A and B are shown apart, each in its own frame.
Chain A
């Protein structure tokens, strides 16, 4: 038995069949355990798990708004510090404060609060579940949407061929804040993701993990392939797995031979408008990025 059997994330939620966000939540809670307070901004994970009067969460949980999860988490963490010190609350229990936000609520509208919280040095872990678009509102682009991906606000047509901007590198921006731990992860590599969460939680200060989360509805593939596609994203070098601990960069998974990007792109409807030329261009872009990282 290699995984904890504690289930702090209950079934009955309204996630799509094959939902990757549900896998994120389940893995996070397996790694963090019950002494955890979750702060979740508006998004798929929040909406699908807490329709009054039902909740899928078996840990204390709070949702406030779309763009302020990092600020709310800062408040929770500050209160815990103050209450422990002033009134001896929570005894000496180590309480994890974890914000779990989508790429929309984190890299776009939540970016300011995120930067503020990380810069102030709060003892919180922020996990961005990255499904590369605003999924909850029906698949609109975010700054994390990759180049040429189709979304409802970047639909491929005769004039424009999908998303025209490259994917914003949130993890590197977090690293530039000088926080003690930054990592990328993918739900298809659960042991690695859990290890990174546990390592983050063992460090005092602000931590950030960007976890790739394939989305069957938004990316356009049959539900049973959620894990398979995540694996391909890593095996092709599209989404490298690494950690940056106190400024020291380290690749945590190096594919022995990188698979061609075409294998990954061809599986998803959001890329079906791509020509061979487009795929070539993307392959070159990925090759360059991987070279820079030492993949």
Chain B
């Protein structure tokens, strides 16, 4: 059933679209090298590099499109890439 005027009443429900399937390369973040500069956090176009309960940045691979901006902007090379298997 289509809503009146196709209004979408559920904010941010695009999260049901798992764009991680787009990936060719997967960025891997080594938390031991991370200096918490927040570059990867702020530059990720999907906004899916977030801190876990210990305050360490983690990449959510459900959504990561593999653009590798995070890898390019990391000042300490804490992020490397590997090719996705499939």
Contacts and interface: CB of A to CB of B under 8 A. Distances in A.
Q: Do chains A and B touch in the complex (CB under 8 A)?
A: yes
B41 A55 contact: no
Interface residues of B, number: 35
Nearest to A23: B45
A54 B68 contact: no
A12 B22 contact: no
Given A12-B19, A17-B66, A223-B69, A55 B13 contact: yes
B11 A11 contact: no
Interface in A35-61: 49-50, 52-59
Contacts of A121: none
Interface residues of A, number: 39
Contacts of A223: 67-69
Given A226-B69, A228-B72, A18 B8 contact: no
A131 B3 CA distance: 33
A18 B67 contact: yes
A148 B17 CA distance: 38
A49 B50 CA distance: 21
Given A9-B47, A13-B14, 4 more contacts: A3-B41, A17-B67, A26-B45, A54-B13
A-B pairs, top 9 by smallest CB distance, nearest first, are: A12-B14, A10-B12, A18-B67, A224-B68, A22-B45, A12-B17, A17-B65, A17-B67, A11-B63
Interface of B: 2-3, 6, 8, 10-19, 22, 38, 41-43, 45-48, 50-51, 60, 63, 65-69, 71-73
